Amino acid sequence: MAGSEPGGALLVAGTTSDAGKSVVTAGICRWLARQGLKVAPFKAQNMSLNSFVTRDGAEIGRAQAMQAAAARTEPSALMNPVLLKPGGDRTSQVVLLGRAVGELSARGYHGGRAQRLLGTVTECLAELRRTHDAVICEGAGSPAEINLRRTDIVNMALARAARLPVVVVGDIDRGGVFASFFGTTALLSAEDQALVAGYLVNKFRGDVSLLEPGLDMLHRLTGRPTLGVLPFRHGLGIDEEDGLRVSLRGTVRESATAPPHGRDVLRVAVLPVPLMSNFTDVDALAAEPGVVVRFCDRPEELADADLVVVPGTRGTVGALRWLRDRGLAAALARRAAQGRPVLGICGGYQLLGQRVEDDVESRAGVVEGLGLLPVRVRFHREKTLARPTGTALGEAVEGYEIHHGVADVLGGEPFLDGCRAGSVWGTHWHGSLESDAFRRAFLRRVAADTGRAFVPAPDTAFAALREEQLDRLGDLIEEHADTAALLRLIEDGAPAGLPFVPPGAPS
């Protein structure tokens, strides 16, 4: 039982970024939770603009919040002690234990700060292990990034410090997965290799029997088994860490949606502003039958949009420049004059106002906004982190706030913490569209303003859809991974005597 002695643990590493570490970690968490275990996710260091606020007001990566949901536990800052939020000029804001502590360049961070944080992250992991039966850790990038090994706190340095067994995930859909597994192992030092206990093939299409000769050869070459071949599945995933990976012409999710309830669909255009953050706010719109969500970066692409969403950004002033340079600012002004709906969320809300005074993020001073909302924004060094609740359009709403800018609302009609002026809406609240009744009311208003015969589905429950997604990840592990072997690793650690794969790296 958790609390009597430290719980077991496992580190899920990957051959590359985006190999599927986050998904596999979430899937293992859900599978373990189904077994009645008290389980927690953990990522020592995350780089993401897609973040979340815990109930006690700490900021962590959204991927870890979703993994906590997979584990059926409340997210906490212990699960993501270091969050790096990229900004301009090759710098990132460092969020430590849920609070922003400053800006650092990549050189400054890896030049000494990262190593000093290793003790903090191992203490957080130890605390989670004291209170849980199992902790499933996620690595970052690849453990074989030998240029960063000296300052590593999230991959093999963490595994060494906490004696974690490591499973390496490889994306076979990219090709070269056998070379990636072998090369990843062979570039680790003997001490690091001793913890690498096996491999997981991700996103496989086809007949597994055709893969088996390669898996057998990999086992002979490395002395390590492949612990599962996970098939490619459309529409699987959790909240991504990096919004910039979303295709500007793609849909938010690949999964099929039900037909519309009314005669018309609603078309939603999302502007992929620079340093876009929490773009997952529009996932709840994409989940609605009859709502088509696209990322659009040209004025002409907004012509048939019934709603334009300006999402959050960590660079409000830079986003203003980008909108003006591309002609999108003028397109938004035309929409507002025509009474066609626009929704700004967080940074998107700020740039729709009259002016922005920023001596914190961009240090640009006073910059004219788009002037579509009677709002003036001044950036404060202290970040607002909150989990507000309220009502809008007659319905209950809840969300979360992450912003340095403080808005002075000078007019319009109240809307959550922001305002509405004509067809332009603005709020700092992320996640508000996940409130089902409010989302339906808002879409009915958009349909009325645009003359669309669109009817929201009466039974779309976004939280239930998210649960179904997490269950599918648990199914993926339960049905296609060697769960008995995974459980042995979690409980007993890496087996002794794993062979060294030359040439290795210096200790």
Main-chain phi, psi angles of 344, to 5 degrees: -105, 130
pLDDT band, residue 404 (cuts 50/70/90): very high
| pLDDT above 90: percentage of residues in the chain | 82
Weakest mean pLDDT among 109-118, 129-138, 150-159, 403-412: 109-118
| Tens digit of each residue's pLDDT (9 = 90 or more) over 166-205 | 999 999 999 999 999 999 999 999 999 999 999 999 999 9
Flag whether pLDDT at 253 surpasses 50: no
| Tens digit of each residue's pLDDT (9 = 90 or more) over 428-440 | 999 999 999 999 9
Q: What is the mean pLDDT of residues 378-400?
A: 96
Residue whose structure tokens are 């001793």: 194
Q: What is the mean pLDDT of residues 344-369?
A: 94
pLDDT band, residue 251 (cuts 50/70/90): very low
pLDDT band, residue 486 (cuts 50/70/90): very high
Q: What is the mean pLDDT of residues 128-143?
A: 97
φ/ψ region of 176 (left if φ > 0, alpha if ψ in -120 to 50, else beta) reads left
Flag whether pLDDT at 98 surpasses 80: yes
Flag whether pLDDT at 38 surpasses 90: yes
Q: Which helix (H) or strand (E) holds 108?
A: helix 106-108
Q: Which helix (H) or strand (E) holds 470?
A: helix 462-480
Give the per-residue pLDDT at 236.
67
**In the structure, how many helices (H) and strands (E) does the chain have?**
16, 27
Q: What HEC string does 226-290 produce?
A: EEEEEECCCCCCCCCCCHHHCCCCCCCCCCCCCCCCCCCCEEEEECCCCCEECHHHHHHHHCCCC
By annotation, the residues acting in catalysis are: 346, 430
φ/ψ region of 430 (left if φ > 0, alpha if ψ in -120 to 50, else beta) reads beta
Flag whether pLDDT at 308 surpasses 90: yes
Q: What is the pTM of this model?
A: 0.92
Q: Which helix (H) or strand (E) holds 405?
A: strand 401-409
| Tens digit of each residue's pLDDT (9 = 90 or more) over 196-250 | 999 999 999 989 999 999 999 999 999 999 999 999 887 666 665 544 444 333 3
| pLDDT above 70: percentage of residues in the chain | 93
